[in-house]
Amino acid sequence: MMLSYVLAFCRVATGLVFAWSFVGKVQDISSFIQTINRFKILPKVFHQPAAVAFLASELVVLGTMILGGKLLLWGFLLAGLLLISFSIALVSVLIRKIQIPCNCFGSSQKPISSFDVFRNITLILLSLSAYGLLIANGESLMAMLGWSDWGLIGVAAFVFVMVLVQLREISQILR
Query: Could you tell me the residue ranges of all domains in the chain?
Result: 2-174
pTM of the model: 0.91
Whether the predicted pLDDT of 141 surpasses 80: no
The mean pLDDT of 23-35, rounded to a whole number, is 91
- Per-residue pLDDT tens digits for 55-110: 999 999 999 999 988 899 999 999 999 999 999 999 999 999 999 888 888 777 88
pLDDT range class, residue 142, cuts 50, 70, 90: low
The SS3 of residue 101 is: strand
The mean pLDDT of 140-162, rounded to a whole number, is 88
Query: ∠ at Cα 51 (14, 104), nearest 5°?
Result: 45
- Per the CB < 8 A criterion, the answer to whether 53 and 127 are in contact is no
Angle in degrees, 0-180, between the axes of helices 2-26 and 47-67, rounded to the nearest 10:
150
The mean pLDDT of 30-56, rounded to a whole number, is 92
The pLDDT, as a whole number, for residue 129 is 95
- Share the mean pLDDT of the chain: 91
Looking at residue 60, its amino acid is V
